[in-house]
Structure 1
Amino acid sequence: MTWITLLLSAIALAGLFLAQFRIPVPQIGGEYVEGVVGNPRLINPIFASANETDLGLTRLLYSGLVRFNGKQEIVTDLAENYTVSEDKKIYTFNLVSNAHWHDAKSVTARDVAFTFALLEDPTLASPLAGTFAGIKVETVSEYTVRFTLPEVYPAFLSALTVGILPEHIWSIIPRDQIRLAEMNLKPIGSGPFQFKRLIREETGFISRYELSRNAEYYRQPPYIKDMVWQFYSEYEGDNGMLEALRTKKVSGLNFIPTALKEKTAVKHVRLATLQLPQYTALFFNLNNEGILSDKTMRQALSLAINKPKILQETLDNEGAAIDSPVLFGFPGYKNPLLQLGLPEEANEFLDKKWSRISAEDYRQKLITEYVEEHSSTSTASTDTTSTLAISGATEIEKTLSPAQLFYRINKNKTMAILNLVTADTPEYREAAALIAGYWQDIGVKTNITYVSQKEIAQSILKDRDYDVLLYGVIVGSDPDQFPFWHSSQVKYPGLNLSGYTNKKVDEILLKIRQTSDSQQLNDLYLEFQKLLAEDVPAIFLYSPTYVYVLGNQIYGFAVERIAHPADRFANVTDWYIKIGSEWKFKK
């Protein structure tokens, strides 16, 4: 027995000795299923910035000339290298020669020029059109492309992260039909993953979207074999995304609201809190000829808001209260001056132009109007004024808050009533309720409409159908405020959600795009913020953090800062699920 024991001991020692020369390494394989509340519409770089789901998918399917890495640094992508002229108006890019579309055709400079021609075409109404207006794009050779800018644009490189389209696919589709093309849902790109299949329900809702590894990717091909997006219409409920996470039907979630974070406490996931240049604001629709055309009203509405309280109640302080769209880390950032809510001061503002009317007097006013309206339309002979008044009172009570002690009316007999629209999420429901409460304390009645995130993207933003919009804006890596506040961006698909116009602001925003001097840039942004604060086109509330729910089976995730939620995939080619080992001997 002794020799057997010695043999086994020797084998064990040899195994331990050899094990120190084996190291774990990523292996190709595995499937990652990410749950997403939303649905894809146009998985096309030209349109995707209007829909966060589309933008995330384009990040996996397409490639840009440059991209952001996990530290939000610009690095080359389809471009092998580039040069910038001395006057900073000419950018020349040399493309890698081994990049191919998912149908095996080569990516060339013609594809780049074609993509930017589409971006500028007014027929397509791309949200990015304004960014590239006036820029000349020309092919120098098969793999070289040149951009000539009309003016210096310091943030131009960051704009070139937009995905490039294959000319041979899209050039045969009439431009007025591009939005309708099937290729918007079954794209051919050049990114690390390629389209595999989608599952669409009878209702038209796409419930599952599958991507497969692009083994011919021109840089390091991904390790994960299949990347799957499972779509849901809501977070909670038996068919909601959280239940799918609990039962392991999905491996992770693209985002979790703060109010639901505790419900992700399952063993197979971890939470990644990422820094995201995003803010939530109340956008006043200045194109509506209503009470918001009165600057005094807008100032009073702003004074009444307790921003720290809203941040605490909606996000449990996971973010920062703000008073400007210029966020921390951007040129011109200044520490916010945050009030805790000043209803007394706000009421003093309004008392000069808006008379108070007691809650009872307002109730009687509405009942009288109800009786008059229904008396003229009613055909029932038994209806009397008293019965109409009773039924009217019953209906009216449903629309009034017992906590609102008074209302306001101006000299034109216009009541201070606002229609606030926002997404139907726990965060925005909580915020909207608090805001309505603050405004009722200064005599302003607020009617709240909650709509799906899909409806926000498809109709609310397009039609600008709101008095006030409670909404979150992702600024991105580029601090440029032009897309959000220049008057040229008032109409859809522009992102000037307040319909704000100010010639001085327009001039400043143009100057910002033309300067690379850091001090001048800082001064211009400070002046921009001053003018914005004077005009009050919006109330800036808070900048939240972004919480990504990542499956524990994923290794290699190394992202801390993102400009868009889609940037969570910045190092997706480094992610892996399968682990192997290899020999490594010391030299």
Structure 2
Amino acid sequence: MVRLFGTRISFRGEHMVDRAFRAFSKTERRVFSTFLIIFLASAALMLAQVNAAYMVTIPAHGGSLSEGIVGAPKFINPLLAVSDADQDLTALVYSGLMRRGPNGTPIPDLAQSYAVSDDGLVYTFVLKHGLVFHDGTPLTSSDVAFTISQSQASTIRSDVRGRWDGVTVETPDAETVRFILKKPYVSFLDNTTLGILPRHIWEKLTSDTFLSSDRNIDAVGSGPYQIDSVARTRDGKGVVSYTLKSFTHFALGKPYIDTITLYFYQDGDAALAALKSGAIESLSSIPPESAQAVSDGMENLVSFPEQRLYGVFFNQTEAPIFAEKAVRNALEQTVDRARIIDQVFHGYATPLSGPIPPGILGYEPDLPPTPLTADEITQAQKAMTAAGWTLDTTKNEFVKKVKKTTTELHFTIATRNIPELKAIAGILKENWEQLGARVDIAYFDEGDLRETVIRPRKYDVLLFGGVFPSESALYSYWHSSQRNDPGYNITMYANSTTDK
């Protein structure tokens, strides 16, 4: 028997050890006990290190999260969602055949499996068995076909319509959906991340009531979260917050967080104030100029690249001066990108001179931009002069005379009335007026910009910013078939080689 720290330790052959221990002198016993304690402590430490090395932390179900979003939702509907608030809620409430995974690659959601024909024209999806919407109604292939038919309807005027033009949908049975394309489309799987509408709710509505339906606010989908309650403004026309609860029958398994409450704020300042006061636990899409201030005292500030593109689009139809390559080149060469990145985005932006953004195959990174110099402006002016333009030094404005026709380098930038776009427009105006252009700026609210400017293509220059979700957006922005509404080829670029 051996006692350590008052605890009796017994083991086989303990009597022999006991006799040997008693035969030790006091000094030998003290040394033996010291080494034994060191041995046991070392063994315990080694076991702890081994345990830590092989231990895997896994999330637990439960808990809640409160998050702030700038802007108010209007359309919790995959066919109509445009704003950040709309899109965030739509992603939580709805499921598509596929869903974008953590790295942006589509992974099966409602789909159990899919197959693509050798010629790339036929995509066949098999749904998981037992799928249901939040109200318990079974989700079948007819719901998928209905959603696509609504996206293609000209009366709905969905922004995703262009991605489904010419696609035929077949439903051989309740769990099989077949898409037939006219031409191979390598990014077609991205299209199938579109959320599926419940046919039994939406088929009763006309095109007019489709847009005004309360179901755009009290939405029913099959996504990871279902709407538990909606807090509205006093007049009942706006939304203050949503409370979402996890959906047990979500196709990818019940989410880990039980409850999510989303609060909506008119501007970034109000949202930041709510975060700092503890009214909300998290806030997404913090304005770049606020990132440093927010990081002070915050437990966790996560920075990650967002595929939100800001670009200038010239409309040669409305402003024929942009048909001249010399004009386009001179304007492009005199944009102070370094100043825009530094002053507007506070370093949280990447320069882009081509149509393909980071993260998409074919992207070519630009060199870090340098501030615009007087020499660069002079070189651009010389190129304009070589192309037949004359700088009127009294007005500092380029003009071009062809026979009896005089053309001025004068145009208007149309953009949305939000701080970052207004700041960019101001810098562009300053840059281009240094070149020798006369530049006006017209600001629009989001709805007016879409309906009166973008859709009818009524602009000289469009300064536009928006989320570029995936490779499929390249088709909407650059394919010849998307030159007219509802496509987003807002330069009306046409090239048969590029189309292929």
TM-score normalised by structure 2 residue count: 0.80
1:268 Cα deviation after fit: 4.3
In structure 1, what is the equivalent of residue 275 of structure 2? 245
Matches within 5 A, 1:381-396: none
1:6 Cα deviation after fit: 6.4
Structure 1 residues 195 and 133: alpha-carbon distance in aligned structure 2, compared to 1, 3 A threshold: same
Matched residues in 1 for 2:210 and 2:80: separation? 10
- The one of 392, 402, 407 equivalent to 1:357 is 392
Question: Is the 2:318–2:458 contact (alpha carbons within 8 Å) kept by the matching residues of 1?
Answer: no
- The one of 503, 506, 510 equivalent to 2:499 is 510
What letter corresponds to residue 218 of structure 2 in structure 1? Answer: K
Q: Which has the larger radius of gyration?
A: 2
1:475 Cα deviation after fit: 2.9
1:155 corresponds to 2:187 = yes
- The one of 207, 211, 230 equivalent to 1:179 is 211
What letter corresponds to residue 204 of structure 1 in structure 2? Answer: K
1:413 Cα deviation after fit: 4.7
| 3-state DSSP of counterpart to 1:321 | coil
Question: Is the 1:90–1:146 contact (alpha carbons within 8 Å) kept by the matching residues of 2?
Answer: yes
Question: Is the 2:166–2:181 contact (alpha carbons within 8 Å) kept by the matching residues of 1?
Answer: yes
- The one of 330, 343, 355 equivalent to 1:313 is 343
Matched residues in 1 for 2:407 and 2:72: separation? 41
1:221 Cα deviation after fit: 0.8
What letter corresponds to residue 432 of structure 1 in structure 2? Answer: A
1:71-113 residue CA offsets vs partner (Å, 9 max, x unmatched): 2232211111122223332222111112211110111111111
| 3-state DSSP of counterpart to 1:243 | helix
1:194 Cα deviation after fit: 0.7
Greater Cα shift, 118-127 or 306-315: 306-315
In structure 1, what is the equivalent of residue 357 of structure 2? 327
- The one of 179, 200, 207 equivalent to 1:168 is 200
Structure 1 residues 464 and 251: alpha-carbon distance in aligned structure 2, compared to 1, 3 A threshold: farther
1:206 corresponds to 2:206 = no
1:221-267 residue CA offsets vs partner (Å, 9 max, x unmatched): 1132222221122112xxx2111111122222220121221231253
RCO (CA 8 Å, sep 6+): is it higher in 1 or 2? 1
Matched residues in 2 for 1:218 and 1:281: separation? 37
- The one of 83, 98, 104 equivalent to 1:72 is 104
Question: Is the 1:326–1:479 contact (alpha carbons within 8 Å) kept by the matching residues of 2?
Answer: no
Question: Is the 1:257–1:426 contact (alpha carbons within 8 Å) kept by the matching residues of 2?
Answer: no
Matches within 5 A, 1:121-520: 121-201=153-233, 202=235, 204-236=237-269, 240-289=270-319, 291-336=321-366, 340=370, 341=372, 342-351=376-385, 352-359=387-394, 362=395, 406-411=396-401, 412-453=405-446, 456-457=449-450, 459-478=452-471, 481-498=474-491, 500-502=492-494, 505=495, 507-511=496-500
Structure 1 residues 191 and 496: alpha-carbon distance in aligned structure 2, compared to 1, 3 A threshold: same
| 3-state DSSP of counterpart to 1:102 | coil
Matched residues in 1 for 2:99 and 2:469: separation? 13
1:120 corresponds to 2:152 = yes
What letter corresponds to residue 398 of structure 2 in structure 1? Answer: R
Question: Is the 2:340–2:427 contact (alpha carbons within 8 Å) kept by the matching residues of 1?
Answer: yes
Question: Is the 2:161–2:487 contact (alpha carbons within 8 Å) kept by the matching residues of 1?
Answer: no
Matched residues in 2 for 1:132 and 1:141: separation? 21
Greater Cα shift, 301-310 or 417-426: 417-426
Matched residues in 2 for 1:275 and 1:248: separation? 26
Greater Cα shift, 120-129 or 153-162: 120-129
Supply the RMSD in Å over aligned alpha carbons: 3.1
| 3-state DSSP of counterpart to 1:157 | helix
Question: Is the 1:245–1:251 contact (alpha carbons within 8 Å) kept by the matching residues of 2?
Answer: yes
Matched residues in 2 for 1:113 and 1:346: separation? 53
1:344 Cα deviation after fit: 1.1
Matched residues in 1 for 2:318 and 2:117: separation? 46
Question: Is the 1:30–1:225 contact (alpha carbons within 8 Å) kept by the matching residues of 2?
Answer: yes
1:184-231 residue CA offsets vs partner (Å, 9 max, x unmatched): 111110111111232332383322222222133243211322222211
| 3-state DSSP of counterpart to 1:271 | coil
- The one of 65, 70, 73 equivalent to 1:37 is 70
1:456 Cα deviation after fit: 4.2
Structure 1 residues 315 and 448: alpha-carbon distance in aligned structure 2, compared to 1, 3 A threshold: same
Matched residues in 1 for 2:256 and 2:302: separation? 21
Matched residues in 2 for 1:192 and 1:479: separation? 24
Matched residues in 2 for 1:332 and 1:223: separation? 36
In structure 2, what is the equivalent of residue 566 of structure 1? none
Matched residues in 1 for 2:271 and 2:473: separation? 35
What letter corresponds to residue 381 of structure 2 in structure 1? Answer: N
1:82 corresponds to 2:75 = no
Matched residues in 2 for 1:86 and 1:23: separation? 42
1:317 Cα deviation after fit: 3.2
Question: Is the 1:31–1:226 contact (alpha carbons within 8 Å) kept by the matching residues of 2?
Answer: yes
Structure 1 residues 249 and 290: alpha-carbon distance in aligned structure 2, compared to 1, 3 A threshold: farther
1:326 Cα deviation after fit: 1.5
| 3-state DSSP of counterpart to 1:299 | helix
TM-score normalised by structure 1 residue count: 0.69
Matched residues in 2 for 1:294 and 1:88: separation? 39
Matched residues in 1 for 2:445 and 2:259: separation? 30
What letter corresponds to residue 433 of structure 1 in structure 2? Answer: G
In structure 1, what is the equivalent of residue 134 of structure 2? 102
In structure 2, what is the equivalent of residue 583 of structure 1? none
What letter corresponds to residue 76 of structure 1 in structure 2? Answer: P
What letter corresponds to residue 440 of structure 1 in structure 2? Answer: E
| 3-state DSSP of counterpart to 1:92 | strand
| 3-state DSSP of counterpart to 1:273 | coil
Question: Is the 1:482–1:509 contact (alpha carbons within 8 Å) kept by the matching residues of 2?
Answer: no
1:458 Cα deviation after fit: 5.7
Matched residues in 2 for 1:180 and 1:109: separation? 26
In structure 2, what is the equivalent of residue 61 of structure 1? 93
1:329 Cα deviation after fit: 4.5
Question: Is the 2:66–2:260 contact (alpha carbons within 8 Å) kept by the matching residues of 1?
Answer: yes
Structure 1 residues 200 and 358: alpha-carbon distance in aligned structure 2, compared to 1, 3 A threshold: farther
Question: Is the 1:331–1:479 contact (alpha carbons within 8 Å) kept by the matching residues of 2?
Answer: no
